[in-house]
Structure 1
Amino acid sequence: MELLFKILFYISAFIIVWGMVGYPVSLKIIGKIYKSRKLKKDYNHQPTVTVMVVAHNEEKVILDKLQNIIELDYPKEKIEFLISSDNSTDRTNEIVKKFIADHSEYNIRLYEVKARMGKTNAQNEAQKTVATEYLVMTDANSMMDKNAVKELMAAFTSDDIAYVSGRLSIVNQEASDVSNAEASYWDSDLAAREIEGRIQTITAGNGALYACRTKGYYDFNPIQCHDSAMPPLYALEGKRAIANHDAIAYEKAGEVIEDEFGRKVRMNRIILKHILPDIRILNVFKYGWFSYFYFGHRTCRYLLWISHLLLFVSSALLIRESWIYSVAFLGQTIFYLLALLRAVTKSQNKYLTLIYYYTVTIIAQWVGVYRIITGKARPFWEKAESTR
């Protein structure tokens, strides 16, 4: 049993350290080696585009979103707007219909989903009504930079590029310690995606802003989300998913921990499948850098919930065997106590907040796993009000 505990200790420690420190550092080194690889753009590439907005009970922000998308800088005769309302029961549909009537010079349509089954299903249904060459997806509470569509389309410079993700910019970073921690995490993740994309392919996008070819759209199961499902799908087909961070969407992060926790639980509603969604990913000889990227950026991070538990338990059981296990156990105990201290005192200390934020992220993974096992995972969720 002692050998088993040691194996669990070192495997768990490796997953945590590699996922959070080793992989990002290695990626920076790889990025410098491949510094000659740059994102190519062709601003003459201006195909027909449908901008799709999925909304469920978004009466607070939908009018601002509609005004935002009609101000996009893109040839008017080549752009359409499609609002897919996911069984909204508030004034969302009413607001959209009035806006369409008042702005008849724009090609705006409302698609009403009859049964609420979540964002992905709303996209699946509405996509079947699209006739343009490309689709741009964006959230109701994400305000797009006026050049966002132009930038996304400019990045489709070759037939093997199937997906382009934009950059989500957090506008309320200084509003609270929670939004600040989320913005800091997101900035580091964006840096990793930029390198992955220009070398080969990103491992995930973001729901605030991304684009794909209409003919390459795939009807995913509603429990899945395009953010995490599309890039691996295209990579395994020998295509590329890339990031163009000059295509920008602005959004608020959760300003209270309850909202951010709920968002992370929702993100983990299919975490077990994401650990290794397809065994082919392991074939580094065929998929090259993508295999390396996915293991470091996704597999390791999706295993944090179990790795932290196994590391804590194994170090506790091995504490008398070596000072290494004693230090590891003591360090973990102090770490979790500091997170608890932050939760109780509401301290504004940035280091305590980062520890607390990270711990909450791990707990959210556990909740996601629990919901999967108990059959409580759902394709829809209640939005975070502090992000509106």
Structure 2
Amino acid sequence: MATLEARRRTLSLLVLALLICVCLSNASANDRADTSVPNDLLAATANHQELIERLLANNDWRLLRFVMGRSGISTAWNEERVQDMARSMQRRGVAIARASLQHAGMIWDSASVMDQRFVQWQEIISDQQPWQHRCGPVQLLGVEDDRELLSRLAAALPLVQDLHRRYFPFNQSQERPVHIRIFPTREKYDSQDFRAGSYATYRPRQALVALWIDHQAYASDADAEAVRLIQALCHELWHAYIQYHAPGMPVWMEEGLAEIFESAVVRGDQPLQIGPDIINATNKQVLRQNLDAGRVIPLQSLMEFSNTRFSEEAQIAYPQAWSVMHSLLFAEDDAFSAIVPDVIAALRSGSFGVEAVRSAVVELDWQTIEAHWRERLEQQQETPPRPSEYPPSPL
């Protein structure tokens, strides 16, 4: 089965490579805008003159933007030149957005900014050429003004990765590259059409995690906002991790585990901690309200929820999924604690969704599992939340 999976991945990579070649070839054929280089640009970037001239000649806008960002350009471009480049970048951006999993949308974004505002390159760079940090397969991207907070998040990335690997160890040499975009405002985050009302999200097709900084909260309590973002990374990077290593996990299981990881206790540079006595305070409160109002989803029904249905009933589904998965992951009885590892084993063997759960729960019926959850539910409601103390120090 492992050999078959390797063949499938190899075939997928070959198909993706072919699509990229076709898209970029078409873009190059259709993308022959004015390639002259303004004198003021060359004067400002003497050390990069040859490279920039070659990139302009090849219409390689993605690399051009990177070089310009690293060159510290502060000169304004004339309006006509900006319009020409914007049109070319838009045409080029469509091909790149369709063909590249890692940089989708970034070129189009900068072209839109130029078209709408005709701003200086320095301002475009502050929006689109971000501060960067790499941690293994994960790249953190933000804007220079948020360097202090971004450094804290960068220091926490190994802790987040370690948390997932401790509970669900997979082959670390085969992890998917993931980009994390930290937007400086809620408005910039919302402009990318992420899930309405969310503060963080994961886009699997782009391997992109996106969050936004609440600067008002950061100004009043910088440590608390850093903890919130670290915990959000625990949630969203879990999606990237499990979907790559064991795709097809039912949404209630995946989201329930993500909510558990999001409640991790952050204590400096110490390993992040989850456990039977670490409770997600928000989910605990909402779940109590739902229970008092009789808003409970039978577990057998929850098991079959689609992504759409889960989102539609998020106020009930999220806290209940967290509670159920918490009762299983930290169960003292092996019959219950083995369910999650058995489901993951089934997924990695080729099962998918509900089928994987059914194959892992052959010796238990759902009434028994629900009874176990309700028993553990009382303990969850009686356990006080354990607060985080402070985030890791900046790099």
TM-score (norm 1): 0.29
Higher relative contact order (CA 8 A, sep 6+): 1
Pick the structure with more strand per residue.
1
TM-score (norm 2): 0.28
Pick the structure with more helix per residue.
2
- Determine which structure has more spread, i.e. the larger CA radius of gyration: 2
